[in-house]
A and B are shown apart, each in its own frame.
Chain A
Amino acid sequence: MKSHRWGIRRLVVAGAALTALAVLAACGGGSKTDSAGGGTTTGSADAVDAALKAGGEITYWSWTPSAQAQVTAFMKQYPNVKVNYVNAGTGNDHYTKLQNAIKAGSGAPDVAQIEYQALPQFALPGSLVDLNQYGFSQYESAYTASTWAAVHAGSGLFGLPQDSGPMALFYNKEVFDKYGITVPKTWDEYVAAAKKLHAANPKAYITNDSGDAGFTTSMIWQAGGQPFKTDGKNVTINLQDDGSKKWTGMWNQLVEGGLVSNIPGWTDEWFKALGDGTIATLPTGAWMPGVMESSVKAGAGKWAVAPMPTYDGQPATAENGGSTESVLKQSKNPALAAAFVRWLNHDEGVKPFLASGGFPATTADLKDPAFVDKTSAYFGGQKINQVLTAAAGTVVKGWSYLPYELYANSIYGDTVGKAYQSKSDLNAGLTSWQDALVKYGNEQGFQVNG
């Protein structure tokens, strides 16, 4: 799979280059976009229903596994609407193309999947439609507080949440039992468990982390850090705030002590390691069970779920991953696109999504006894959703991502990644990441303090 990794490398470089272009474009042509947007998009709640009745054709870009099934169900319900579903790629592939189309001024879809971490990057330059104008703010109570916050940028509402990823601790119970390790409730216990496991079996590691920006930001979030703050063009970056240092103080022990495996996530090696006990735990989003059931068959019956360890023993977690569907400014029929988004993430579209193994952002589903009390055969009959839905209620408030988070993620390996490679202090890595981000932000026309 070497070639595959090279592919990703190139792609990240490409993504970074295009992001730079897109941000430049956004700054250069900002006033033009703003005036055009203000003039053409005057909608209302009624307009959405009227558009649905009138019908039409829209294009939808997404890599959600259930997307095709959802589109088919939607068109069955509304035969006068034609939805062209396109899987333009996963993650960065998708964003590169989306950014391209926005930059080019044509070719963007009407509706696109956008991860929460990437939302500010598309919303703030004015590439997305503010759904407040269609009265979508009325759906606030339907979603968890953390996902509702995640679909906002400034005062604008730029999508409806599709899923959520409150973090929990997935652990290989078989491995824990074999080495007499108890489930850690605090991070201190987690570090102790890491040492015990690796001492007992030098081939086994408590978890893998070769430097993953999404994981780092979520962990800082859980520790109460707020390293990124954006107010218009003013951005503040502080990757040495109390929360960030709290996390590095704990995680440094694992990295410097060589207690985490350096297997990169989402590789064939990683899937294999999850099945054979090489990786004993995963602190990750609540969407993980769907992935494990379909792709880590060797782990069936071995894994279990516990709440995230915390610093003080009090429940607290963060979001990791998760997406929204947004309407693009380029859309010629934004009201119809908004109607589709509403159907996808608020109405009938939610069921096919859950059926495919997704984890909901909708409070009704998170409270539904049929969902909460479902036993999972893969997880040895455990009612895992009890743990996961409880986690959804304990997400630390106040987090926000950078308005150029995708670029930030792309250079993470070149800065913080070095600390992982040399098993040295993560704080030094975070500081050089911050320096690079401040420099880049200022070049892109933001006023960055850091």
Chain B
Amino acid sequence: MSTVTSPLRPKRSKLLTGVMVLYLLYTIVPLAWLLLSTTKTQDDLLSTPGLWFGKSFAFFTNIKDTLTYNDGIFLRWLGNTVLYVVVGAGGATLLATAAGYGLAKYKFTGRRAVFAVLLGAVAVPGTALAVPTFLMFSNLGLTNTVWAIIIPSLVSPFGLYLMWVYATDAVPGELLEAARIDGAGEVRTFFTVALRLLAPGIVTTLLFAMVSTWNNYFLPLIMLSKPNLYPLTVGLTQWSNQATGVGARPIYNLVVTGSLLTIVPLVVAFLLLQRFWQSGLSAGSVK
């Protein structure tokens, strides 16, 4: 990288480098702690320094124990999380793309009202809506089912906003007109012309939806009381809380190992999709 010289290359600022190094440490140290901790037994976790290895190397035993504890409930939670992400985040992306495109490219009455509602919805944190959502779902008899997690995940106001803004710039109106003149129907235009142009935006929306569904904690916490339906976030919290009160049985080694296993898929998703993501974020910036 250093061989490439660019006339625009700015001078190095010692201050900025220092700040970046601090930030790097800030993000790397917890990860290092997590990695090191997964190599320790429960006893070593409590008796050896956090940022170095323990007396024994228990990484593989920990992984095995995490996957087999309580009849392998962890794998079940992993499967649940994957289901919620694939159906929930996938569906949210699809809906946000279609709706964002529609709002950006069609003129109809009530568009401004939709925009106002949308901005409001982006501003309200999902956590605040969890309890009212719970009461609604319990009236419908949907609590304690997978739908209690999937249906709320399908709605992503931020994703819709993103797709709307992105579609406004990324899909030229002239192109759509050309498609119409060539005799393509609206649905066909959307799938064959617009969708391709929207790809970077879609990946961005998908990543955001994936992360928020993967990390979704509060909604499943109150919606679900069957451990069989828990996603990883709620399951791991339950393991962690096992260390509390009368009859406490801490299994911190399994909690940290489970946490590591939980973030691996997200890290992989980011590594695979990040080039799309970068182009998505900067889209429209040169206009």
Contacts and interface: CB of A to CB of B under 8 A. Distances in A.
Interface string B59-96: 00000000000000000000000000000000000000
B246 A285 contact: yes
Contacts of B139: 104
Contacts of B46: 268, 271-272, 275, 296, 298
Nearest to A287: B246
B167 to A, nearest CB: 35
A107 interface: yes
A101 interface: yes
A297 interface: yes
Interface in B241-256: 241-250, 252, 255
A100 B143 contact: yes
A125 B222 CA distance: 21
Given A89-B241, A91-B241, A275-B47, A165 B221 contact: no
Contacts of A358: 246-247
Given A87-B238, A93-B241, A100 B222 contact: yes
A422 B218 CA distance: 31
Interface in A1-52: 1-2, 4, 7-8, 10-11, 14, 17-18, 21
A393 interface: no
A413 interface: no
Contacts of B250: 268, 271, 295
A10 B243 contact: no
B238 A93 contact: yes
B240 interface: yes
A356 B247 CA distance: 9
A276 B47 contact: yes
B238 A89 contact: yes
Interface in A270-295: 271-272, 275-276, 285, 287, 290-291, 294-295
A11 B221 contact: yes
A11 B42 CA distance: 25
A1 B33 CA distance: 10
B218 to A, nearest CB: 6
Given A96-B222, A276-B47, A291 B247 contact: yes
A184 B225 CA distance: 45
Given A89-B241, A93-B221, A107-B225, A290 B247 contact: yes
A276 B221 CA distance: 35
A196 interface: no
Interface string A126-148: 00000000000000000000000
A1 B240 CA distance: 9
B20 to A, nearest CB: 22
A268 B259 CA distance: 15
Nearest to B251: A295
Given A93-B221, A268-B46, A165 B241 contact: no
B85 to A, nearest CB: 19
Nearest to A276: B47
A325 interface: no
A163 B43 CA distance: 28
A90 B218 contact: no
Nearest to A109: B225
B227 interface: yes
Given A97-B225, A266-B244, A276-B47, A65 B249 contact: yes
Given A17-B131, A268-B252, A275-B47, A100 B244 contact: no
A291 B241 contact: no
Given A90-B245, A266-B245, A107 B238 contact: no
Interface string B238-278: 10111111111110100100000000000000000000000
B45 A268 contact: yes
Contact of B247 (A63, A86, A89, A104): A63
Contacts of A21: 131, 135
B229 to A, nearest CB: 11
Nearest to A357: B247
B43 A321 contact: no
Contacts of B221: 11, 14, 93, 96
Nearest to A4: B240
B244 A107 contact: no
B217 interface: yes
Contacts of B222: 14, 18, 96-97, 100
Given A298-B46, A323-B246, A90 B227 contact: no
Interface in A201-259: none
Given A10-B127, A90-B238, A298 B249 contact: no
Nearest to B43: A297
A61 to B, nearest CB: 8
A342 interface: no
A24 B134 CA distance: 16
Residue of B46, B131, B217, B242 with highest tally of chain A CB at under 10 A: B46
B226 interface: yes
A441 interface: no
A179 to B, nearest CB: 22
Interface in B112-147: 127, 130-131, 134-135, 138-139, 141, 143-144
Contacts of B212: none
Interface in A381-437: none
A14 B225 CA distance: 15
A375 interface: no
Given A10-B218, A14-B130, A100-B143, 14 more contacts: A1-B252, A11-B237, A14-B222, A18-B222, A21-B131, A86-B227, A88-B225, A88-B227, A89-B241, A101-B225, A104-B139, A107-B225, A266-B243, A294-B249
Which 8 pairs between the two chains have the least Cβ-Cβ distance? A104-B138, A90-B241, A97-B225, A272-B46, A266-B244, A321-B246, A287-B246, A65-B247
23 contacts: A4-B255, A7-B217, A7-B237, A14-B130, A14-B222, A18-B131, A61-B225, A66-B247, A86-B225, A90-B238, A91-B245, A93-B238, A96-B221, A100-B222, A104-B139, A107-B225, A163-B246, A165-B246, A268-B250, A271-B243, A285-B246, A295-B250, A296-B46
Interface of A: 1-2, 4, 7-8, 10-11, 14, 17-18, 21, 61, 63-66, 86-91, 93, 96-97, 100-101, 103-107, 115, 163, 165, 266-268, 271-272, 275-276, 285, 287, 290-291, 294-298, 321-323, 356-358
